Amino acid sequence: MHGEQADDLDGTTGDAETVRRAFEAMPVIMIEYAGRDHTVAAINAAFRRISGHEHDALVGKPVREALPELAGQQVYEMFDEVYATGREQVAREWRLQIPPGPDGEQREIFLDFHLFPVRDANGAVVGQRAFATDVTSRVIERQAARERAAAAERRYEQARDVINALQRQLLPPGLPVLPAVRIAGTYLLADTETAAGGDWFDAVPLPDGRVALVVGDVVGHGVAASATMGQLRAVLQDRLDETGDILAAIGAADRMTGRTPAAHAATVCVAVLDPVDGTLTWCSAGHPPPLVVDADTARFLTAPPTGPLGTGARYALATDRLKPAEMVLLYSDGIIERPGREPAAATVELSRVAMDAVAGRGPDAGELSAVERACTHVLELLVRRTGHTDDITLLAAQRRTPPAPLHVTGPAAPDTARAARAATRRWLAAHETGERDRVALAHAVTELVTNAFEHARPDTGDATVTVTAELRDDGEATVCVADDGRWRTRARPGDERFRADHGLGLAMTARFADHLDVDRGERGTTVTLRRRLSRPARLLTTDEINHGRPGDAEPPAEVMVIVDQPHAARSRVAVHGPLDTDTVSALGAELDRLTLGGTHELTVDLTGVTHLASAAIARLYRGGRQAHPLRLYAPAGSVAHHVLSLVDLPHATTDPDA
């Protein structure tokens, strides 16, 4: 037998060892699986090198047991499909996460692979073989080349930015942050067009503590479809906000089709969730039904079929109930009607991948909530296999235990301001608010506590200040800062000292709030501010869902550092960290030193500033009035830009020294 095998290889002599050496030495990854459970029958050295597994740890085990890290990455499903259908599968640049290397870092690779069935003498499938090539370096090189070629593609990107901006203006600016419901949404632009679409989503808190979830789809693409989508969304949002009545809202949208022909045949699904007991009431106007899913089960809700808007259909309500661990997912038909997929098979895929997302099986599951995973991983894992030709909208909601209210108390002193700011950030992070709200409320609380220790009983040290905050069912945060001191008489508003040293704190706080009330009495002062919280929904393009995941940056260190930039064309420093009452004196001293008392020019880069208190604003105002005014640089989107814009302090948003 050995001789026969060798003759097959070289026509002369040899044995099985020659075959084994050739198999081992192949530069491509080679694997053979046997049976319905895909038992690992053979692997070569190339596979062992890339996977980090030893031969004896894999061979003889079913693939789900041998390679559990592949769960949730649509690999097992591909094996099952090859075994069941006998059809080959080919993948290009398939992204996989594999076990950490010796340094403990999570690794990801990209593979080109070919998977085809092995048949017995009767033609029955008895196993399968895989040949794969590691193309990670090629993908990384191409990504680097794409970055180098960014200038050549700028015109396309600018056009894409305009389209994205249009879509963002038409879609809700953010999703409500609610104490007992976690909500996430994603909008993926069509892969084949650079035209705004007619899909939309919305989440509307209702007066009785429930929340309405809406996903809809206007026929077509382009400006007309987008404009019609905006009108339908406004009608539904207004009716739901006013009455909370699903049928009244859909009825108003249905009547609108008589006045707006482009709205004819639009579809919409509205679901109202009660976080107290999980009751889910919903109605569909020709739209795909909601999917209810947890880590182990998935079910599409059922109701009598109805037609789209403007078709004369009669609409009725259906009810269900979410268990504490279950999530409801509303979606547009773009996720179902993907190229090469029958609707029945596509709905099964959607339910399976959604279950994996809820359970945390799959790539980058670490810090994302279940609703966020459902709105990002579902897109990546399904769309990358088939592509997509239509916009895709996903909106997910899940009940949760509300975080505890905020309560901080301490002496009216700088340490309390720092503690209150840190506690406010933690409280907002627990609610998963957007960055804009985190910046606004952290600044507002710091300013109010600072006011308390600057103005409450200045001659004694026994004044205390208390910060409390809670989130109402409608998503409005109420923050109270109370002290038991007496308000100190200050300079008159017309005085320069008033504006520079004392006039900005309360004015800044008012800009950070939707409503602000100040109650001064004999027993102290209480300032109450209210602000509706939100978190951004994601508008994505195909490039953004293929690799990696969006996530929050690590919180900045609470240390202020001023870094000289000697290689800049002009005198320049960069400031990092918080600029508050503790650090403003150091900032002022350094600015005076670098400008020789204001007689020399200086650019101050505020990109890395994480907090900008009124005391620092006052110092920067003075820097703008010196003989050589400071050049302040704060790019759009930075903390400094947000605060400087509120107080109307001139600054550059593009690098003045570029």
Do 199 and 237 belong together in one domain?
yes
Q: What is the CATH number of the domain that holds 524?
A: 3.30.565.10
> What is the three-class DSSP state of 286?
coil
Q: Read off the pLDDT band of 460 (50, 70, 90).
A: low
In tens, the pLDDT along 144-190 reads 887 777 766 666 666 556 655 666 666 777 899 999 999 999 988 77
How far is the C-alpha of 192 from the C-alpha of 188, rounded, in Å?
A: 12
Give a yes or no: residue 151 inside a domain.
Answer: no
Inside any domain, residue 655: no
User: Which helix (H) or strand (E) element contains residue 476?
Assistant: strand 476-483
What region does 449 belong to: left with phi over 0, alpha with psi -120 to 50, or beta? alpha
Average pLDDT over residues 47-75: 84
**One domain for residues 225 and 358:** yes
Among 399, 420, 455, the domain boundary falls at: 399
Q: Mean pLDDT over residues 18-32, rounded? A: 82
Domain co-membership, 292 together with 177: yes
Query: Is the CB of residue 115 less than 8 Å from the CB of residue 88?
Result: yes
Please give the Cα distance from 101 to 498 (Å, whole number): 60
pLDDT at 555: 46
> Residues 67, 58: contact at Cβ < 8 Å?
yes
Residue 614 pLDDT exceeds 90: no
Distance CA 23, CA 43 (A): 9
Instruction: Tell me what percent of the residues of the chain surpass a pLDDT of 70.
Output: 85
Q: How far apart are CA 527 and CA 321, in angstroms?
A: 41
Residue 310: exposure state from Cβ atoms within 10 A (0-12, 13-18, ≥19): buried
Q: What is the predicted pLDDT for the residue at 159?
A: 57
Please, are residues 397 and 328 in contact by the beta-carbon 8 Å criterion? yes
Question: Residue 156's pLDDT is what?
Answer: 60
Domain boundary among 380, 399, 418: 399
Q: Taking a C-beta distance cutoff of 8 angstroms, is the pair 241, 285 a contact? A: no
Determine the Cα–Cα distance for residues 447 and 612; give it in Å rounded to an integer: 10
Please tell me the predicted confidence (pLDDT) of residue 641.
86
171 HSE (CA, 13 A, CB side)? 31
- Given a cut of 50, is residue 552 above it in pLDDT? no
Concatenated DSSP letters of 288-348: PPPEEE-SS-EEE--------TTS------EEEE--TT-EEEEE-GGGTS-TT--HHHHHH
> What pLDDT, on a 0 to 100 scale, did the predictor assign at position 498?
42
Bridge partner residues of 481 (DSSP):
467, 527
Tokens found for residue 474: 């409608």
Q: Which long-range contacts (CB under 8 A, 24 or more apart) does 121-128 make?
A: 125/82, 125/83, 125/86, 126/34, 126/35, 127/32, 127/33, 127/34, 127/35, 127/38, 127/41, 127/83, 128/32, 128/33, 128/38, 128/79, 128/82, 128/83
CA-CA distance, 344 to 350, in Å (whole number)?
Answer: 10
What pLDDT digit, counting tens, does each position of 568-586 carry?
888 999 999 888 877 888 8
Residue 521: which pLDDT band, with cuts at 50, 70 and 90? confident
Question: Would you give the DSSP letter of residue 69?
Answer: G
Q: Specify whether 64 is located in the same domain as 138.
A: yes
| Whether residue 419 has pLDDT greater than 90 | yes
* Average pLDDT of the segment spanning 433-461: 82
254 in the same domain as 233: yes
Pairwise CA distance, residues 19 & 22, whole Å = 5
In this predicted model, what pLDDT tens digit does every residue of 223-269 receive, in sequence order?
A: 778 888 889 999 999 999 999 999 999 999 999 999 998 899 899 99
Residue 427's pLDDT band (boundaries 50, 70, 90)? very high
Q: According to the model, what pLDDT value does residue 291 have?
A: 97
Instruction: Say if 426 falls within a structural domain.
Output: yes
Domain holding 37: CATH number?
3.30.450.20
Q: Report the number of distinct structural domains present in the chain.
A: 4
CB atoms within 10 A of CB 59: 15
- Measure the CA–CA gap between 242 and 246, rounded to whole angstroms: 11
Q: Are residues 394 and 418 in the same domain?
A: no
pLDDT of residue 481: 95
Q: What are phi and psi of 569, to 5 degrees?
A: -65, -30
In this predicted structure, what is the pLDDT of residue 507? 80
Using DSSP, state whether 191 is helix, strand or coil.
coil
DSSP 504: S
* Per-residue pLDDT band at 10 (split at 50, 70, 90): very low
CATH of the domain at 351: 3.60.40.10
DSSP SS3 for 138:
helix
Provide CB contacts within 8 A for 631, sequence distance 6+.
601, 602, 603, 604, 652, 656
Tell whether the model's pLDDT for residue 368 goes beyond 80: yes
Which pLDDT belongs to residue 154?
A: 67
Residue 501 falls inside a structural domain: yes
pLDDT (mean) for 104-108: 72
> Per mean pLDDT, which range of 96-100, 161-165, 408-412 is the poorest?
161-165
Mean pLDDT of 392-401: 96
Cβ distance 424 to 445 under 8 Å?
A: yes
- Which of 43-57, 121-135, 202-216, 488-502 comes out lowest in average pLDDT? 488-502
Residue 77 domain-assigned (yes or no): yes
Give yes or no: residues 246 and 376 share one domain: yes
Average pLDDT value for residue range 380-407: 90
In a domain, 544, yes or no: no
**Mean pLDDT of all residues in the chain?**
84
CA distance 598 to 630: 8
- CATH number of the domain at 605, please: 3.30.750.24
In a domain, 443, yes or no: yes
- pLDDT for residue 596 is more than 60: yes
The 10s digit of each residue's pLDDT in 316-350 is 999 999 999 999 999 998 898 888 888 888 899 99
Instruction: Name the percent of the chain lying above pLDDT 90.
Output: 41
Same domain flag for 526 and 567? no
569 and 494 housed in the same domain: no
In terms of Cβ atoms closer than 10 Å to its own Cβ (0-12, 13-18, 19+), residue 67 is buried
Lowest mean pLDDT among 153-157, 331-335, 426-430, 513-517: 153-157
Residues 321, 172 within the same domain: yes
pTM: 0.68
Residue 155: inside a domain: no
pLDDT tier at 442 (50, 70, 90 boundaries)? very high
Task: Match 């056009």 to its residue by tokens.
Answer: 159
The pLDDT value recorded for residue 486 is 67
With a cut of 50, say whether residue 557 has pLDDT above it: no
d(CA 176, CA 433): 9
- 410 and 394 in a common domain: no
Average pLDDT of the segment spanning 500-521: 78
Structural domain span for residue 230: 160-399
Task: Show which of 367, 382, 399 is a domain's final residue.
Answer: 399
Asked if pLDDT for residue 113 goes beyond 90, the answer is no
Do residue 177 and residue 121 come from a single domain? no
Contacts of 159 (CB under 8 A, 6+ apart): 194
